[in-house]
Amino acid sequence: MILFFIINKQDKEEIIMGIVINGATIETDENGYLVNLEDWTEEIAGKLAEGEELDMSDEHWSLVKFLRDYYDEYQIAPAVKVLTKAIAAEKGIDKKEASEFLYGLFPKGPALQACKVAGLPKPTGCV
Amino acid sequence: MEENKGASSCSSHGCNHSNGGRGEKFLNPTPMLDELEKGPWPSFVSGFKNLAERTKKPMLRGVMDQLEYSYNTKMGYWKGGLVTVDGYGAGVITRYSMIKDKIPEAAEFHTMRIQPPPGLHYNTAMLREMCDIWEEYGSGMLTLHGQTGDIMLQGIDEANVQECFDKLNEKGWDLGGAGAGMRTAVSCAGPARCEQACYDNLELHLHALRHFVGQLHRPEWNYKIKFKFSACPNDCTNSIMRSDLAVIGTWKDAIQVEEAAVTEWIEEKGVDALVNQVINLCPTRAISLQDGGMKIDTRDCVRCMHCLNAMPKALSPGKERGVSLLMGGKNTLKVGVNMGSLIIPFMKMETEEDREKFMKLVEEIIDWWDDSGLDHERIGETIERVGLRQFLDGVGLDVDINQVSRPRDNPYFKAKY
Amino acid sequence: MSSPERTWKTIESGPHTYMEALHPVVRKNYGNWKYHEIPRPGVLKHVAESGDALFTVRAGTPRQDTVDMVRQLCDIADRYCDGHLRFTVRNNVEFLTPKEENVEPMIRDLEAMGFPVGGAGNCVSSVSHTQGWLHCDIPATDASGVVKSMMDSLYDEFKHMEMPNKVRLSTSCCSINCGGQADIAVVVKHTRPPRINHDNLSMICELPKAVARCPVAAIRPTVVNGKRSLMVDEAKCICCGACFGACPAMEINHPEHSKFAIWVGGKNSNARSKPSTMSIVAHNLPNNPPRWPEVTEAVGKILTAYKAGGRPWERVGEWINRIGWKRFFEETGLIFDEDMIDSYRHARTTFNQSAHVRF
């Protein structure tokens, strides 16, 4: 659940958004993405997933791991087609089925939900 | 999130919003924007103000305040994000205000892209029901239409997006494209009014966008791809420059000439006009003056449309009609503007079978691009990078002299041996 | 977020259907039109093979509309057109009726509501434009405001048909040029490289994407105050703003240094000459809200010269091809400077590779 807090930052009261973990406030932006990507832990990912009304299964976590490994290596989130190709290869299904599988796990889409839960930067742009 | 549709808190805003029928304005003063109420052209500012004063939606006031602020500072204050509906990875253009501490009523202002009917043909029942739903869930501001071709319903909170979409979807509306996938298409008026229409572009548009509806709602290509369907080479949808896949109506045989109407035209406008405005303007000199009349040599005609435009009663497209496919157009971002180039000079486009055949071909083309292209590379850029030859080979298309304006002027290639 | 009470299952329908939107006369004569003429500004008359006639009344809209405005247009369509209307690719509204007697009262009602009837044939039609400060996340200026100011000064040219051929205008709020190629286009031109926000760049951007986005490879990774960030080689930077779209921390927009350029000669149609892209003819015009008088003035100069000098059927680009660029700059009072010589990818194609010269 994303909560609103009033905190003291440099003697000014500021309303920020965030989640509470073990008494600490982890800041998120208005879209629910982590403001500081270094804050990410599995526990925080769980909270983010709750906020997205996602029931995190092994398949979900496997995808989150894939995203984070990819980002660690390449410093970018994988393109959706890279994701669907990886899923297709692993499960021995075709691209269309892989896409359906992906949206079955993350109904609002890999960019919006999977990247958010995995603590990757928010994808940009409509152009 | 709040159930209060379209509202957001303005308690820290300190604005005057409790007019209670005492004749005070709902909106805050906007002196810069007010300058745009002067002058004869219809004013979008007046439109906004009337809407805001009638509906008293705080989001409208917030957006007007933010726009006024932008006019003063000469900077924009929206940032993007990702809001969508269940099952779709795109279609809602997310906007959060970067100055919501100053203008909390503008905190969220997302836009829903909605696909219009092909050719932008509407009836009032459709438009009224869309407006009613939009006013209930969103700000009431909309754009007819966006540059890619969508209806843009501007101004909704995330909390209302799903329900608003569901209501619209029930009435036959669907989200438009965004991100790296198929985008909303555009068609000209087509056979629904225009005598120059060489194929049923409205039907092809519907067919094509239904065929690719999955890839529109769940983007997963290298980048975006856009169709535009012009029913004749006048290209009123600007497809050559504004789309990756430009489907332009054309004909193979001779322009149809009604001699009596030609004579009438010459009698009305004179031989001078025939020469200066028609014959001399043919780009390939396919028309000659003959015995005070005109003769078209079909072999020299490139179907540019000029003489048909100039003499609409006398000339019309030939009988053997179909489409040309041009590919690779894109506008200025990054590499500059590319014009689409002719790939398929002629395909019949009359039956469902013809349309299916066309869809299959486009699928092969897109598959090739998805494999060969780089991230954020439009198909025109891919073709330029790997070479037209490689593209034609890759997709299994025939080489055709109409694909080039002239053969190469350098000998640096290695023929097969 | 999806509501647990959601009962509707999405139908992925794509474009809305169009058949029901077509007037019965249109449906009857679908694909069987014979010719059209323009009996007066803003009115088209299409005649079918069957002899049926269809009248179209075209009017300008702000494009940036409200539900109230759309309902007003629906009232007109209900009153005169059996509920049928459409929009053009360039944001005009069109009302379609087979009844000639409805044309004059419709024009009267539209004008009384503030919608100018015109925009068809040899005239200035509505301006293609996009969102600007109202909504876009990239813009250096506003769109609707510039359009309103321009069209106020071109109002008569919209309502009459006194141009050599149709005139298509566009405006764009950044160099991506969403307004598109046009006879005359008004497009933002950034004049300084981006300013980089090193504090939050690595949190909000995928660095390799921003590096790859630059068409002249002017961006490199670096470390600033211990944080991963990017730097721009300002000598290479062409101020295109492509990186800003990939990474909002590369701030290219500036209230003073993002200015306007004017472009001419774009032509989409194939008629007579092949389609052409537009050329830059003025730049460094100030971004001057709320009415941008400098931009409006420059566009006015071009149109005045074109209206006086263009021959029938010549589009702006074709007029310039005939009279030559030298005369174009003289007659419009604009100035050709060294920055207008192409220095980008296909520069050679714009050089005068001939002895053709005008004095």
Which chain B residue shows the shortest CA-CA distance from C252? B75
State the best of B9, B10, B77, B82 to mutate against chain A, taking most chain A CBs within 10 Å.
B82
Preceding peptide of C286 cis, ω within 30°: no
- Average pLDDT of chain C is 96
Please report, for chain C, the start and end positions of each structural domain, with discontinuous segments joined by +: 19-112, 128-191+255-350, 195-238
Handedness of CA B405, B406, B409, B412 (dihedral sign): positive
- Domain identity same for B115 and B190: no
User: Nearest by CB to B370, which of A29, A81, A103?
Assistant: A81
Tell whether B358 is covered by a domain: yes
The chains in contact with chain C, meaning 3 or more Cβ pairs closer than 8 Å, are: A, B
Question: What is the reported pTM?
Answer: 0.94
Chain C residues within an 8 Å CB radius of B376: 209, 212-213
- Note the pLDDT of residue C216: 95
The chains in contact with chain B, meaning 3 or more Cβ pairs closer than 8 Å, are: A, C
- For C19-112, CATH number? 3.30.70.3340
- Domain identity same for B240 and B266: no
The CATH number, out of the four listed (3.20.20.120, 3.30.70.20, 3.30.70.1090, 3.40.1400.10), of the domain defined by the range C195-238: 3.30.70.20
In order, the DSSP letters of C198-252 are: TTTHHHH--HHHHHHH-TT--EEEEEETTEEEEEE-TTT-----HHHHH-TTEE-
Chain B residues within an 8 Å CB radius of C10: 85-88, 165-166, 169
Chain C residues within an 8 Å CB radius of B206: 14-15, 17-18
Residue C217 has pLDDT above 90, yes or no: yes
User: Nearest by CB to C209, which of A36, A76, A127?
Assistant: A76
Tokens of A73: 């290596």
Cβ within 8 Å, pair B82-A122: yes
How does DSSP classify residue B280?
Answer: T
Q: Report yes or no: C310 and C163 within 8 Å, Cβ to Cβ.
A: yes
Tell whether B100 is covered by a domain: yes
Q: Report yes or no: B92 and B113 within 8 Å, Cβ to Cβ.
A: yes
> B407 — contact with chain C (CB < 8 Å)?
no
- Domain identity same for B91 and B157: yes
Measured from the Cβ of residue B120, the count of other Cβ atoms closer than 10 Å reads 24
Q: Taking residues C183-212, what's their average pLDDT?
A: 94
What length is written for chain A? 127
State the best of B78, B161, B220 to mutate against chain A, taking most chain A CBs within 10 Å.
B220
Half-sphere exposure of B31 (CA within 13 A, CB side): 1
The C-alpha atoms of residue B4 and residue B159 are separated, in whole angstroms, by: 9
> B135 — contact with chain C (CB < 8 Å)?
yes
- Domain identity same for B381 and B268: no
- Domain identity same for B226 and B334: yes
Task: Kindly report the CATH number assigned to the domain that includes residue B93.
Answer: 3.30.70.2500
> A126 — contact with chain B (CB < 8 Å)?
yes
Q: Taking residues C101-108, what's their average pLDDT?
A: 98
Q: Taking residues B89-97, what's their average pLDDT?
A: 94
What SS3 class is residue C80?
A: helix
- Note the pLDDT of residue B114: 98
Q: Taking residues C295-307, what's their average pLDDT?
A: 98
Among the residues of B138-279, which ranges form H helices? 158-170, 201-211, 213-217, 239-242, 259-269, 271-273
Cβ within 8 Å, pair C30-B192: yes
Q: Taking residues C126-134, what's their average pLDDT?
A: 95
User: Nearest by CB to A79, which of B83, B333, B375?
Assistant: B375
Of the two residues A122 and B321, the one the predictor is more confident about is B321
Q: Is C217 left (phi over 0), alpha (psi -120 to 50) or beta?
A: left
CA of A93 vs chain C CAs: smallest distance (Å): 23
Chain A residues within an 8 Å CB radius of C202: 37
Chain C residues within an 8 Å CB radius of A124: 205, 245-248
- Note the pLDDT of residue A96: 86
Q: Report yes or no: B27 and B63 within 8 Å, Cβ to Cβ.
A: no
- Note the pLDDT of residue A21: 83
Domain extent at residue B48: 10-56
Task: Tell me the pLDDT band of B19, cut-offs 50, 70 and 90.
Answer: very low
- Domain identity same for B214 and B152: no
- Domain identity same for B166 and B309: no
Tell whether B409 is covered by a domain: no
In order, the DSSP letters of A45-85 are: HHHHHHHTT----HHHHHHHHHHHHHHHHHSSPPPHHHHHH
Topology of domain C128-191+255-350 in CATH is Sulfite Reductase Hemoprotein; domain 1 (3.30.413)
The C-alpha atoms of residue B190 and residue B201 are separated, in whole angstroms, by: 6
Tell whether B413 is covered by a domain: no
Structural domain tally of chain B?
4
Cβ within 8 Å, pair A103-B89: yes
CA of C161 vs chain A CAs: smallest distance (Å): 36
Cβ within 8 Å, pair A125-B180: no
- Domain identity same for B108 and B142: yes
Cβ within 8 Å, pair B213-C14: yes
Answer yes or no: A115 catalytic: no
pLDDT digit string, tens, across residues B212-251? 999 999 999 999 999 999 999 999 999 999 999 999 999 9
pLDDT digit string, tens, across residues A29-53? 888 899 999 999 999 999 999 989 9
Cβ within 8 Å, pair A81-B220: yes
Q: Report yes or no: A93 and A101 within 8 Å, Cβ to Cβ.
A: yes
Q: Which of A1, A6, A126, A127 is catalytic?
A: A126
Task: Tell me the pLDDT band of C78, cut-offs 50, 70 and 90.
Answer: very high
Task: Kindly report the CATH number assigned to the domain that includes residue B382.
Answer: 3.30.413.10
Residues 6+ apart with CB under 8 A from B78: B95, B96, B97, B98, B109, C135, C136, C137
Domain boundary among B114, B145, B170: B170
ipTM metric: 0.95
